[in-house]
């Protein structure tokens, strides 16, 4: 495996603005000082990875004087400085000019990129390689460019993995398939209970948590993201094998949830299908295939007069209003002090998750776990149209899941020439 490592905030605790002058090359790099800011475990992690035969490179946005001094005198690793993340041009040129990397780049599975900010994740996505978002420190300030201290921003960028320490990172590198998100893993024939942890809010008598099982890619990404699978859910020709796999990923995660918690979950439910939903019973079919010891109930119901679609609501506020108006919790069940798990297909603006949690809390529910199969990651594209020079977007054929670049014409609210390149 070839491992690209970010420097500041990933190997050294230097994300703080105090180090800015050194990173910018304005002040001399004090290597002895920086040595004291190397994260615990970083040096032994590097040593171990080299012994395993992996190749490591530092990819940093900082000034050459700073990166050179640290890479050579502290870590003894080759490096690229002024990488200009998330732009992938310099990293691609670095790969092409390094024979080992150039050869290995024919198979993107040979690579993994590790970093602590959305810039690292975006760079990895543009290179179509897997990414690990690290969280080795707690930031005290929100830094606007890097989005450090803002948890949602890097998560919405869609890293393949998350690591809180170097042991977790080493485990991911040794077992890249087993560490995929639960739903992404089942399509590789592997069991995983990994999820994206979007929200954990503790109440006086319980908690609300939002979790997601797969990334729905929008544009460039590694090959494990699942936009093609997301669209397959809507396809009337979806197969039972496909639905079985989706349900299996939920079952795998639920097993780990039941093992973690000291209390019993009272109800397992899902966001019901509308009468008009196509294919009919879109979510119910998946829900019925989920294997769990938790009692399954249908807690939610749509107003039969529901008009319009949630996805056509323009913003968060109108989405919540739409749910509040048309989706209600059955009065039949006593939810006081109950612990409830709710499954939904997609997490976009989080409006459904928040509105349903609010309804359940208002009915006295104690612990709420909202699980979405997919969440939409931020769009990312770097392809220019060879015909007109405008930016091209990756699109997916909803019927067959094939991906293609589109220079989106005005007919589809774009500004491009309509050129299409199949991937």
* Residues that bind Zn ion in the complex, under the rule CB under 5 A: 385, 387-388, 407, 416-417, 419
* For Zn ion, the closer CB: 178 or 383: 383
Angle at 91 between CA 90 and CA 93, to 5 degrees: 65
Minimum Å distance from CB 419 to Zn ion? 4
Q: Give whichever of 153 and 390 is closer to Zn ion, judged by the CB atom.
A: 390
Measure Cα distances from 378 to 83, 207, 249 in Å. Answer: 22, 28, 23
Q: Using CA atoms, how far apart are residues 27 and 372, in angstroms rounded to an integer?
A: 48
Alpha-carbon span 307 to 320, nearest angstrom: 15
Burial 266-278 (b: 16+ CB within 10 A, else e): bbbbbbbbbeeee
Measured from the CB of residue 40, what is the shortest distance to Zn ion in angstroms?
A: 51
* C-beta separation of 124 from 343 below 8 A: no
For the CB of residue 87, give the shortest distance to Zn ion in the complex, in Å.
21
To Zn ion, the closest distance from the beta carbon of 325 in angstroms equals: 42
Residue 19 Cβ, how far from Zn ion at the closest point, in Å? 43
Residues 35, 37, 41, 45: what is their CA dihedral angle, to the nearest 10 degrees? -60
Residue 104 vs 417, nearer CB to Zn ion: 417
Could you tell me whether strands 383-384 and 55-59 are parallel, antiparallel, or unpaired per DSSP bridges? unpaired
Instruction: Tell me the closest approach of the beta carbon of residue 386 to Zn ion, in angstroms.
Output: 8
Q: Which is nearer to Zn ion, 326 or 404 (CB)?
A: 404
Other beta carbons within 10 Å of 241: 7
Cα–Cα distances (Å) from 70 to 18, 45, 76, 289, 300, in that order, read 17, 16, 8, 53, 57
If we measure between CA atoms, which residue out of 76, 73, 47 comes closest to residue 166?
A: 47
Cβ–Cβ under 8 Å, residues 41 and 92 = no
CB 280 within 8 Å of CB 273: yes
Kind of pairing between the strands at 206-212 and 215-216: unpaired
State in angstroms the smallest separation of the CB of 408 from Zn ion: 9
Instruction: Collapse the DSSP code of 156 into the 3-class scheme (helix H, G, I; strand E, B; otherwise coil) and give the result.
Output: helix
Phi-psi group of 3: left, alpha or beta (phi > 0 → left; psi -120 to 50 → alpha; rest → beta): beta
Task: Output 9 or 416, the one with its CB closest to Zn ion.
Answer: 416
Identity of the residue, 220 or 355, whose beta carbon is nearer to Zn ion in the bound complex: 220
Closest approach, Cβ 407 to Zn ion, in A, equals 3
CA–CA separation, 394 vs 45, rounded Å?
37
- Which residue number, 285 or 419, has a Cβ lying nearer to Zn ion? 419
Which CB, 341 or 385, lies closer to Zn ion?
Answer: 385
DSSP label at 175? Answer: -
Shortest distance (Å) from residue 303 CB to Zn ion: 44
The least CB distance from residue 409 to Zn ion, in Å, is: 8
DSSP one-letter string for 390-421: PEEEEEE-TTT--EEEE---GGGT--S---EE
| Structure tokens, 346 | 């997609």
- By beta-carbon proximity to Zn ion, the closer residue of 182 and 385 is 385
- The nearest distance, CB 261 to Zn ion, in angstroms, is 53
3-class DSSP state for residue 16? coil
> Is residue 122 classed exposed, middle or buried when 0-12, 13-18 and 19+ CB atoms within 10 A define those classes?
buried
The nearer residue to Zn ion, 220 or 345, going by C-beta atoms, is 220
Instruction: Name which of 147 and 416 has its Cβ closer to Zn ion.
Output: 416
């Amino acid at each position: 495996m070839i491992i690209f490592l970010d420097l500041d905030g990933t190997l050294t605790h230097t994300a703080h603005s105090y180090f800015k002058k050194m990173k910018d090359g304005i002040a001399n790099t004090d290597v002895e000082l920086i040595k004291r800011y190397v994260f615990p475990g970083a040096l032994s992690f590097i040593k171990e990875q080299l012994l395993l035969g992996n190749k490591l490179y530092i990819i940093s946005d900082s000034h050459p004087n700073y990166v050179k001094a640290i890479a050579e005198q502290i870590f003894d690793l080759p490096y690229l400085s002024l990488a200009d993340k998330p732009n992938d041009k310099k990293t691609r040129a670095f790969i092409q000019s390094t024979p080992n990397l150039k050869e290995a780049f024919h198979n993107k599975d040979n690579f993994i990129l590790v970093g602590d900010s959305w810039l690292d994740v975006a760079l990895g996505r543009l290179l179509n390689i897997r990414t690990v978002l690290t969280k080795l420190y707690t930031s005290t300030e929100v830094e606007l460019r890097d989005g450090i201290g803002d948890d949602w921003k890097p998560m919405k960028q869609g890293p393949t993995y998350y690591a809180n320490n170097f042991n977790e990172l080493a485990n991911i590198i040794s077992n890249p398939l087993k560490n995929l998100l639960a739903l992404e893993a089942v399509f590789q024939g592997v069991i995983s209970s990994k999820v994206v942890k979007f929200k954990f809010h503790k109440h006086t008598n319980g908690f609300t948590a939002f979790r997601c099982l797969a990334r729905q890619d929008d544009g460039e990404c590694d090959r494990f993201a699942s936009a093609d699978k997301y669209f397959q859910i809507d396809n009337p020709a979806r197969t039972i094998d496909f639905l079985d796999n989706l349900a299996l990923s939920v079952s795998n995660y639920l097993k780990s949830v039941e093992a973690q918690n000291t209390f019993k979950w009272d109800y397992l439910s899902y966001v019901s299908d509308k009468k008009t939903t196509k294919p009919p019973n879109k979510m119910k079919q998946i829900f019925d295939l989920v294997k769990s010891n938790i009692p399954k109930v249908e807690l939610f119901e749509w107003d039969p007069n529901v008009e319009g679609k949630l996805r056509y609501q323009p913003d968060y506020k109108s989405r919540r209003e739409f749910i509040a108006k048309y989706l209600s919790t059955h009065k039949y069940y006593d939810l006081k002090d109950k612990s409830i798990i709710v499954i939904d297909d997609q997490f976009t603006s989080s409006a459904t998750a928040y509105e349903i949690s609010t309804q359940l809390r208002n009915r006295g529910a104690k612990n709420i776990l909202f699980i979405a199969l997919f969440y939409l990651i931020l769009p990312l594209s770097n392809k220019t149209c060879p015909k007109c020079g405008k930016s091209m977007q990756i699109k997916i054929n909803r019927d067959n899941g094939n991906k293609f670049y589109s220079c989106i014409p005005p007919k589809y609210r774009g500004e491009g020439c309509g050129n299409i390149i199949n991937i």
